A = this chain, B = another copy of it.
């Protein structure tokens, strides 16, 4: 179920890595862009074609060593509808190569609108009497600020189609704590410093907002726990906050973690290691720029550079994650 398929792919390649496909045009080798600009002019459509070639090249270079890709929707939407077409084709191509596909869209809404998003990415829609799966990816990132109304429609779709979501819990960015670390509950301090408490045993104890988000996600998804012990609602937990990650790992026993912040943002294999369970499972670490734009540092072919960087990351993670070798 849901994350079980992801864990299988991770185990098969002994690599808990997801490659972030964030094709900012600056990350694409100029010769790839120029080829399409020459053929089709400097248009959004030409840029979308270049994105596709770039992504297919990366997928070809990575699919036998990296189990999953995470296209970041913003970098496709920035090219308008043609860009979204490239997102769709990228997902299709990655799936055809056996990769698990997580669309990083951080979608969020309520009721029938949340249902529409879940159908778009994870489910199927009826057009007359014909059924279509619009994007048909394996997982989607979501934002839980609207509460359980906003997540339950995703759970329904995930259960029906064997898919999953990752809710933002503790993000990797510097200002993550401005809201996420706010203390809530009895005895909360007003200074905004993060405190991670043990789960309440009757009397509510102070905890940071992000732990409340994590708790809520565990609560509403508890009926969906798979054979590995994980529900279909995972959590985004940044590698840049290793202490918080460690406490969240202990607290959220049924939550699969998607871990951004490795590499370019400052997280390391050691800090990411905190997000794995005692069997070395239950988490996947993302790297985007460091892999897809590796050619900028090394020169030469972008595919070879991406593969080399991905192998390096795999080997670093293997050193610190239990049972991953």
Interface residues of A in 121-168 (CB under 8 A from B): 121, 125, 127-130, 132, 134-135, 143-150, 168
- Neighbour of A188 across the interface among B75, B106, B186, CB < 8 A: B186
B134 adjacent to A179 (CB under 8 Å):
no
Most buried by B among A190, A205, A216: A190
B74 adjacent to A109 (CB under 8 Å):
yes
- Contact residues in B for A120 (Cβ distance below 8 Å): 74, 77-78, 80
Interface residues of A in 283-313 (CB under 8 A from B): none
User: Known contacts A78-B116, A134-B79, A143-B143: does B179 contact A209 (CB below 8 Å)?
Assistant: yes
- Contact residues in B for A259 (Cβ distance below 8 Å): none
B110 adjacent to A108 (CB under 8 Å):
no
- Contact residues in B for A205 (Cβ distance below 8 Å): 190
Write the A81-125 contact mask toward B (1 if CB under 8 angstroms, else 0): 101110110000000000000001011111111101101110001
Write the A161-186 contact mask toward B (1 if CB under 8 angstroms, else 0): 00000001001111111111011111
Interface residues of A in 62-85 (CB under 8 A from B): 72, 74-75, 77-81, 83-85
User: Known contacts A79-B134, A209-B184: does B203 contact A174 (CB below 8 Å)?
Assistant: no
- Contact residues in B for A44 (Cβ distance below 8 Å): 125, 127, 132, 134
Q: Is there a chain B Cβ closer than 8 Å to A22's Cβ?
A: yes
- Neighbour of A117 across the interface among B74, B107, B182, B203, CB < 8 A: B74
B182 adjacent to A77 (CB under 8 Å):
no
Q: Is there a chain B Cβ closer than 8 Å to A212's Cβ?
A: yes
Q: Which residues of A are interface residues toward B (Cβ below 8 A)?
A: 22, 24-25, 33, 37, 42-44, 46-47, 72, 74-75, 77-81, 83-85, 87-88, 104, 106-114, 116-117, 119-121, 125, 127-130, 132, 134-135, 143-150, 168, 171-180, 182-191, 203-206, 209, 212-213, 216
